[in-house]
Amino acid sequence: MFALGGVLAMLIRAQLASPHSAFMGPEVYNQVFTMHGTVMMFLFAIPFFEAMTVYLLPGMLGTRDMAYPRLSAYGFWCYLIGAATMVVALVLGLAPADGWFMYPPLTSTEYSPGINADVWLLAITFIEVSAIAAAVEVVVTVLRYRAAGMSLSRMPIFAWYILVVAVMILTAFPPMILGSVLLETERALDWPFFQVDKGGDALLWQHLFWLFGHPEVYIIFLPAAGMIATILPVMARTTLLGYGWVVGAAVSLAVLSFGLWVHHMFTTGIPHMGLAFFSAASTLVAVPTAVQIFAWIGTLWKGRPELHLPMLWILGFFATFVIGGLTGVMLAVVPFNWQVHDTHFVVAHLHYVLIGGYVFPMVAAVYYFLPIITGRTRFFKLGEVAFWLVVPGFHVTFLAVHLVGLLGMRRRIWTYAPEDGWAIINLVASVGGFVTAIGFALIVVDIAVNAAVASRGRRNPWGAGTLEWATAIPSPSYNVASIPEVRGRYPLHDDPEIAVRIARGEGYLSWPTRKRRETLVVGTSRAEPLQVAVLPGNDGLPFVMAVATAVVFLAPLWDAYRTAGVALLVVIALALRWAWSNGSTRDEGPLDAGRGTSLPSAWEVPDPPGWWGSLFLLLADATMFGSLLFGYAFLWTVAPAWPPASYVAPGLLDVLLALVGAAALAAGPRLAARALLASRGPWIGLLVALAGAGALTAAAASIWAARPDPTSHAYDATLWLLGGFVALHTTLAAIILAYVCFRVAAGYASSVRIGETRIAQLWCDFAGSTGLVALAAAWLPGVFA
Amino acid sequence: MRDVLRLSVPLALWLAGFSGVYALQGLTCSRHWPEDLPARPALLVGWALAVLLQAVLLWLISRDPSPSRFVQGTSLALAAVSLLAAAWTSMPVALTSTCL
Ligand code: HEM
Ligand SMILES: [Cu+2]
């Protein structure tokens, strides 16, 4: 994908190299730059660090695999199918052409007929599913699947960074997924969320997109920062200076970055005070960034650095990223922004931070971790040549792009006239760009050659201190033969023999006596061993389910809504089949976990891994709900064509249904769990909850009945969506409850095996509480009007 | 899990406060805001509340320390950052024009 994005970049530079270029016409050029941005951001940057994480994280944490291996597989297939769809669209000339941020009204049916925009909205949302899946899995893995004794203060620094990033994905992607849903329903069903004359507002898209978009740039930067914080101390033959400060900086950056989104909208006519809030917040993020940079410089100072290839790339990062950060602060100053917004200056800024801050560190990471992947020591030195092509080439290109931006060249124009005076600078930029591209190609060659023929290397070639280097290289698929007990941040330094001990089976869960794949679940802060989790075996289900999910998302491109509906049913059936294969029909009691401990199976605890996964998935869901309320409130306050002709007012019966329904949803699962604990049948509780789901759905349906036409005004469309959100979640709760009924009947529950009932409780609580809030939001304006 | 909350709640509530003040500002400039109600005092109160909330959190965290020294140190630092952020990022309510 990086290669594809790169080829597109070269096409752009070829087109802009000379004035009045006849290489591409505007239609093709629009598709090319849109796909370049989309591919780099969504198909390369995010999936690439996710892939590195899934591969490396379990080793760093000293565990056997990610928490949900089948979910990893499902995410991978979703990504692959989604990405392939985008590529096919590009080849067929059906690719999106409205810029990577897809602003309406340009992306509305009026100005973008044809399916190009729909390809973006549907395929990217589909790919987002895999990002969310990976994020849930990373959070649960870092919090619960670590080596014994690896308390929060002993976690490898990368684990901290990626934990922060995963939580950001769970809270940043939902606004954009919601935005895509709104825009797609507008395009497909004519629900007027962004049409000003019908009570919509195009600015709503910009808010939702940048609520995602700014955190997104940190979602991309922070994993790379985590790699630097991992690699730099090893290259300097020391340990990271100010570990606690770096963790603090990463956490603050993550949260602060959610308060910057309007700095992408400085020129939209928002009142000055609003702009000033975001300008202030944008300057503030320079502080934690500086803390990190100084911690790294201090680490170099304290150690004895060696200039291996990964170190070289990290130096390239420093030289580039600092400039990009500074142009970012310049852009955050409102008057300057008004001058250069939508010029090539912005293009230069974003490439300095994205390439300098992400690509360079990730190249360092690839070279650093190459021994784990290939088991070989690098021999041919093409990588150094490549470095000296890429970094200078990059600076030539994008320094020139800064300048041409200051000279007034707007971004996204397909050509320019010789009188504009931009010709020579653009030619320089293009030449630099081609040099950079040749350098990147050399890196690929270098890695391929060394992976194929370099000599076998020894374990832990860099002398690192973290657990991913404790295995033989290339690392085996189960990572560790037994799960170690660690006493410090750098276990390999604390105990040089630890690798041998792990291999000899001196840790936890060394012998597969129970003939299944097991791993250890620990407490979130102190990492004391708590449970024995069983990992699933190899399974084709994730692939089949990804294909079915693809049909759900992509069939609407051909208006094949019935096919999509059928596929959705298939997805649900497969998901239930998937869940069914977990669990056991008898109580095993405490299991021997090695080292003289015995622990319960994760199937016999109140908070099994599935409970934790549901909790964090619901965090994403809650953000989605919050974004929906935000959109509603936004239209209510600022959209010009409001208030609508009338507001909906609730009947007494509807309010009663909602209250009773939510109460039953809350009470039912608790009754059921209590009954199970007392070894009684849980049926009453489950039935109460099911009835509650029905009542709440009826209350939501009353809104649709009261306002039958969602196309008439954005208010009606919003009501439909609120009702839809409630009904979707009550339906999900009902499906889960029905599933639990079948599980109980089949013997999968007992007084210790109550985990599934508790998971149902989470989903019912969520459906009930969001249902009440959603209906209150729908009814309140009518009550007061 | 308590440790995770110690580390994350102050910053999360900074975001809530920041968004709240921004929303209030949007409201004061909309047709829903009563003509005769001055906007700036309301905004100043919003700012003060956001800062006060952070001060309370900082106090709570220092009073009920985590058993882990690392978590305690880091959560105090993050609570202090949130307090400063609340004071700094909503400062425009005192400085700029409201609805221009
Ligand atoms: C890792 C760090 C960063 C990355 C990856 C990044 C990425 C980006 C991207 C992709 C855009 C362009 C969006 C578009 O219009 O297509 C952008 C624009 C912008 N960035 Fe950054 N950025 C980073 C750091 C910063 C920092 C630290 C600041 C300020 C403190 C900043 C301020 C801005 C502003 C104000 C714009 C909007 C300019 C305009 O459209 O007028 N950025 N950045
Ligand atoms: Cu930004």
Does the beta-carbon distance from A244 to B73 stay under 8 Å?
A: yes
A247 has a chain B CB within 8 A of its CB: yes
Question: CB distance from A245 to chain B under 8 Å?
Answer: yes
- pLDDT tier at A359, thresholds 50, 70, 90: very high
Confidence class for position A363, pLDDT limits 50, 70, 90: very high
CA distance A531 to chain B (A): 16
Q: Residue B70: its chain A contacts at CB < 8 A?
A: 151-153, 244
Average pLDDT value for residue range B74-90: 92
Sign of the Cα torsion A394, A400, A402, A404 reads negative
pLDDT band at A250 (very low <50, low <70, confident <90, very high): very high
What is the distance between the alpha carbons of residues A478 and A230, in angstroms, rounded to a whole number?
A: 23
* Most A CBs within 10 Å, among B32, B69, B81, to test the A interface: B81
| Residue A271 to residue B91, Cβ atoms within 8 A | no
| Nearest by CB: B99 against A259, A271, A636 | A271
Tell me which DSSP letter residue A455 carries. P
Residue of minimum CA distance from atom 10 in ligand 1: A350
pLDDT value at residue A575: 92
Cβ-based contacts of B23 with chain A (< 8 Å): 633
Average pLDDT estimate for A97-108 = 81
Is B85 in CB contact (< 8 Å) with chain A?
Answer: yes
Q: Best of A285, A331, A333 to mutate for ligand 1, by most ligand atoms within 8 A of CB? A: A331
Beta bridge partners, A535, equal A517
Band (pLDDT 50/70/90 cuts) for residue A548 is very high
Task: Give the tokens for residue B36.
Answer: 């005769």
* Rounded mean pLDDT, A24-52: 88
What does the alpha-carbon distance between residue A353 and residue A330 come to, in Å, rounded to a whole number? 13
CA nearest A692: which of A652, A733, A720, A653? A733
Tokens in use for A262? 């309007």
Cβ neighbors of A20 (< 8 A, separation 6 or more) are A415, A416, A417, A418
Contact A66, A19 (CB under 8 A): no
- Whether A519 shows a pLDDT value over 80: the answer reads yes
User: A273–B96: do the CB atoms touch at under 8 Å?
Assistant: yes
Selection from A627, A435, A479, A504 nearest residue A55 by Cα: A479
* Range A699-710 average pLDDT: 90
Residue A475 has pLDDT above 80, yes or no: no
Mean pLDDT estimate for chain A: 88
Query: Which residues share a beta bridge with A261?
Result: none
Q: Which region among A186-200, A297-311, A392-406, A494-508 has the lowest average model confidence (pLDDT)?
A: A494-508
pLDDT of amino acid B91: 86
* Residue of chain A whose Cα is closest to the Cα of B73: A244
> In this complex, do A244 and B2 lie within 8 Å of one another by their Cβ atoms?
no
Side chain identity at residue A116, one-letter code: N
The answer on pLDDT for A480 being more than 80 is no
Of A425 and A233, more confident: A233
Going from the Cα of A226 to the center of ligand 2, the distance in angstroms, rounded, reads 20
Restricting to A residues 634-653, those with a Cβ less than 8 Å away from any Cβ of B are: 634, 636-638
CA distance A510 to chain B (A): 28
Which of A346, A362, A401, A410 for mutating ligand 1's site (highest number of atoms within 8 Å of CB)? A346
**B65 in contact with chain A, both atoms CB, cutoff 8 A:** no
Residue A624 sits at the vertex; the CA angle it makes with A620 and A628, to the nearest 5 degrees, is 165
Report the distance separating Cα A14 and Cα A21, nearest Å.
9
Whether residues A524 and B25 touch (CB distance < 8 A) is answered with: no
What is the distance in A from the centroid of ligand 1 to the CA of A572? 40
Longest dimension (CA), chain B: 53
Q: Which helix (H) or strand (E) holds B88?
A: helix B69-89
* pLDDT reported for residue A269: 78
CA of B35 vs chain A CAs: smallest distance (Å): 15
User: What's the one-letter identity of residue A602?
Assistant: A
Q: Is A463 on the interface with B (CB under 8 A)?
A: no
pLDDT in tens, A442-460: 998 888 888 887 677 778 8
Tell whether B32 lies on the interface with A, counting CB pairs under 8 A. Answer: yes
| A7 has pLDDT over 90 | no
Please check whether residue A785 touches B, CB under 8 A: no
Residue nearest to atom 1 of ligand 1 (CA): A221
Residue of A nearest to B47 (CA): A277
Q: Which ligand is nearest to the CA of A355?
A: 1
Establish if A577 touches chain B: CB-CB under 8 angstroms. no
Quick count: other Cβ atoms within 10 Å of Cβ A418? 10
pLDDT band at B93 (very low <50, low <70, confident <90, very high): confident
Q: Where are the domains of chain A?
A: 467-599, 643-784
User: SS3 for A597?
Assistant: strand
Any chain A CB within 8 A of the CB of B99? yes
Contact A252 B11 (CB under 8 A): yes
From CA A651, how far away is CA A701, in angstroms rounded? 12
Q: Are B15 and A259 an interchain contact pair (Cβ–Cβ within 8 Å)?
A: yes
3-state secondary structure A378-428: CCCCHHHHHHHHHHHHHHHHHHHHHHHHHCCCECCCCCCCHHHCCHHHHHH
Quote the CA–CA distance of B13 and B15 in Å, as a whole number: 5
Structure tokens at B31: 């047709």
Instruction: Tell me the CA–centroid distance for residue A606 and ligand 1, in Å.
Output: 44
Rounded-to-integer distance, Cα A69 and Cα A197, Å: 49
Cross-chain Cβ contact B68/A143 below 8 Å: no
Q: From the CB of residue A569, how many other CB atoms can be counted at a distance below 10 Å? A: 11
The per-residue pLDDT for A351 is 92
CB contact under 8 A, B77 and A248: yes
* CA dist., res. A390 & res. A401, Å (int): 16
What band does A105 get if pLDDT is binned at 50, 70 and 90? confident
Query: What confidence category does residue A107 fall into, taking pLDDT thresholds of 50, 70 and 90?
Result: confident
Under 8 Å between Cβ of A618 and A768: no
Nearest to A525 among B12, B71, B99 (CB): B71
Please give the structure tokens belonging to residue A430: 């293009």
Whether A478 has a pLDDT exceeding 80, the answer reads no
| B34 vs A: CB within 8 A | no
Digit-coded pLDDT (tens) for A161-185? 999 999 999 999 999 999 999 888 8
Quick check: A109 pLDDT over 80?
no
Distance CA A87, CA A90 (A): 5
Report the gap between the CA of A114 and the closest CA in chain B (Å): 36
Residue A644 has pLDDT above 80, yes or no: yes
- Closest ligand 1 atom number to CA of residue A221: 1
Q: Whose CA is nearest to atom 8 of ligand 1?
A: A350
Residues with CB under 6 Å of ligand 1 are A 101, 217, 220-221, 263-264, 282, 285-286, 325, 328-329, 331-332, 337, 341, 346, 349-350, 353-354, 357
Q: Measured between CA atoms, how close is B63 to chain A, in angstroms?
A: 20
Cα A731 off chain centre by: 26
Per the CB < 8 A criterion, the answer to whether A130 and A79 are in contact is: yes
Q: Which of A107-116, A640-649, B55-64 has the lowest mean pLDDT?
A: A107-116
**Angstrom distance (rounded) from CA A116 to CA A99:** 12
Q: Which ligand is nearest to the CA of A352?
A: 1
ipTM score: 0.94
Question: Which pLDDT band, with edges at 50, 70 and 90, does A620 fall under?
Answer: very high
Give the 3-state secondary structure of A529-569: EEEEEEECCCCCHHHHHHHHHHHHHHHHHHCCHHHHHHHHH
* Tens-place pLDDT, residues A687-699: 999 999 999 999 9
Retrieve residue A97's tokens.
């052409």
Is the peptide bond preceding residue A643 cis, with omega within 30 degrees of 0? yes
DSSP annotation of A148: B
Tell me the fold of A643-784.
Answer: Four Helix Bundle (Hemerythrin (Met), subunit A) (1.20.120)
pLDDT score recorded for residue A263 = 87
* CA of A678 vs chain B CAs: smallest distance (Å): 28
Give residue A21's pLDDT band: very low, low, confident or very high (50, 70, 90): confident
The residue that leads in pLDDT, B4 or A770, is A770
Is the model's pLDDT at B84 over the cut of 90? yes
Per-residue pLDDT reduced to its tens digit, A734-757:
999 999 999 999 988 888 889 999
Place of tokens 């560790």: A480
Q: Hey, is the C-beta of B11 within 8 angstroms of any chain A C-beta?
A: yes
A119–chain B nearest CA distance, Å: 33
Question: pLDDT-derived band of residue A379, with 50, 70 and 90 as boundaries?
Answer: confident
C-alpha A205 – ligand 2 centre gap (Å):
15
Cα–Cα distance measured from residue A95 to residue A439, given in angstroms and rounded to the nearest whole number: 28
Torsion A328-A330-A333-A337 (CA) sign: negative
Distance between the two ends of chain A, CA-based, in angstroms? 53
